[in-house]
Every structure is written in C-alpha cells, then in structure tokens.
Amino acid sequence: MAAKKENKTEIESHSVIIERTLEAPVEVVWKALTDIEEIKRWYFGIAEFKPVAGFSFQFTGGKDDRIFLHLCTITEVIPRKKLAYTWRYDGYEGTSLVTFELFPEGNTTRVRLTHEGVETFPANDPDFAKDNFVEGWTYIIGKGLKEFVEPKAEEGDISAREIVTTRLINAPRELVWKVWTEPDHIAKWWGPNGFTNTIDEMTVKPGGAWRFMMHGPDGKNYPNEIIFSEVVKPERLVYTHTAPKFYSTVTFEEQGGKTQLTMRMVFNTAKERDQVVKEFGALEGAIQTFTRLEEYLVTAKQ
C-alpha cells in the first residue's frame, strides 16, 4: 500500500513555505504557472507575463477596502523546475522573493512555494502580517492551482487523458533530434501513412512556432499550429498543439548508440482525448508516424 503524501505548511523566521502534491504531470503544472491565459484562470488578473528572467509584471489584489498594486520582476526560470520573482508593493517599503519549485513524481507533481523576505514589509501594518501570507498562499496553491490543474471527476485521471507512444530507435540521439527539429527533414516523414506536409514555419525555441499543413491521402488538408514552451537539445521538446488542444512532451534518451523516443500527449479531458482518437485515429497514427521516422532514418544515416 502506497504511503499517503503529506501536504506541508512551514513558517520560518523569514519565510513562508507551502508544499502540496498535485494530481497532475509537471508539464501541466508548469504551463499553469507560466502561460498568461492559464495564469488568469487561477491566480491574479495579470495583463502580461513571460517566463523570462528580467521580465516585470504587475497586478492588483487585496481586500475591498484596501487594494494593493503588486510589482514583480522575474529573477530565475528553470523550465519545469523553478520560477522565482521579486514581490513588492507600490508605495510601501520592503522587497520579498517568491519561488515556485516543481518536483515530478510519476504522474503527480510536488509543488513547493517559498515566500521569503516578508519581514521587510511594514511591521506595524496588520495587512502585512505573516499569517495573512500563510492564509493567502495556502488558498492559492491548495485550492486555486490544485483545482485548476487536477482533472475533475468527469474528466478522468491522467491515464485516461493521455496518449503515450514510445520506441527504441536504432539511431543516435543527435540524429533523431536533427530529423525531428529541422523542417527539411520532418516534412518528409511526419504523420501517418500516406500523409505529406508543407512546412510554413518551424522555429524550435521557447515561444517559437511550428506551423504546417498536413495533406491527407484522401485529398483533405489539415492545418496545424504548435508553440514550443521548452527546448532542451538533444533531450526534450515540450509544446502545445493549438487545435485540437493538447500538451506534448517528446523525450530523446541515449541508450548505447540508440535512442529511446517517447511522445506523451496530454489532453484537458478524457472526452477530448477520445474524440481525437475516434476522429483522427491518433493511436494508430502515432505508431505509424514512429515507423515512418525509423524508415526515414535509414536513408538519413547513409
């Protein structure tokens, strides 16, 4: 029987630490922390946000009788692992630091929120009391973020919302990465049997887009748009497919001159996943795509 995961709240002399385990993969939690459209749905009404060190953003929050303008600047970004930014209030002394740390644990993610430096805020003002920060972060992490990233009962658990395709490819990792990330190569093998591709744009970097048209054997055209959120050469690609919407992580693992290739597609709901499987044959299509890649690599190695 698995041990029960504990939630933690700690109050150190200069820090508030909230730790929660969320029933969602790290890719989903990271996107919730860094995608502006998702941030608005569980956090504060932030107008602009970019997960880039040095980027400044602001938002308002507080009680009805007292609203504060929060001023923040990002200090550190480690994709899927850490996000940190300064946190201060317009017109008040003091500067603090907020840090989100993510620890993947299978299909769950342990989130540790640390807010340090709250003692630099006005000591005689009850609105800046440490207990208020504990209460606020407990709600934000334990309810806001948790309810946003965890599937509702009708959506099914993560296994019901994902499509995972994996294969040991008889080619070195650098070559597999190359034919997956260069438009002249991927256009020649991407997609199920009988499909061809026209690549309009492929910028493989965080925030970059991959826009292309898939031409089916039945004569139909299928437009696709992908936005990359993480690119770690030659280890990992993380991106969002816009319509139908799903999040993908592709990993390239070196195994004795071969490559363990895994593509993991996560949908918001089990219903959306099943619809893609039914309408587009996504399960068999992914298998055929990997087979076409293997066949292409034979000629690419020559």
The 10s digit of each residue's pLDDT in 161-201 is: 889 999 999 999 999 999 999 999 999 999 999 999 999 99
Give the pLDDT confidence of 124-172 residue by residue, as tens digits. Answer: 999 999 999 999 999 999 999 998 988 765 555 667 888 999 999 999 9
Structure tokens at 234: 């030659």
Give the pLDDT confidence of 36-53 residue by residue, as tens digits. Answer: 888 988 999 898 999 999
Domain co-membership, 142 together with 168? no
State the Cα–Cα distance between residues 92 and 54, nearest whole angstrom: 22
User: Structural domain of residue 142, as residue ranges?
Assistant: 8-150
Cβ atoms within 10 A of the Cβ of 177, count?
A: 21
By the 8 A CB rule, do 75 and 85 touch? yes
Q: Is the pTM of this model over 0.75?
A: no
pLDDT at 18 over 50: yes
Domain co-membership, 237 together with 278? yes
**Sequence-ordered alpha helix ranges (H) in the chain:** 26-34, 36-42, 130-139, 146-149, 173-181, 183-186, 270-280, 282-300
State the Cα–Cα distance between residues 214 and 220, nearest whole angstrom: 8
Domain co-membership, 247 together with 233? yes
**Amino acid present at 63:** K
What is the average pLDDT across 89-113?
95
Domain co-membership, 258 together with 294? yes
Residue 1 falls within a domain, yes or no? no
**Predicted pLDDT at 62:** 81
Give the pLDDT confidence of 210-231 residue by residue, as tens digits. Answer: 999 999 999 999 999 999 888 8
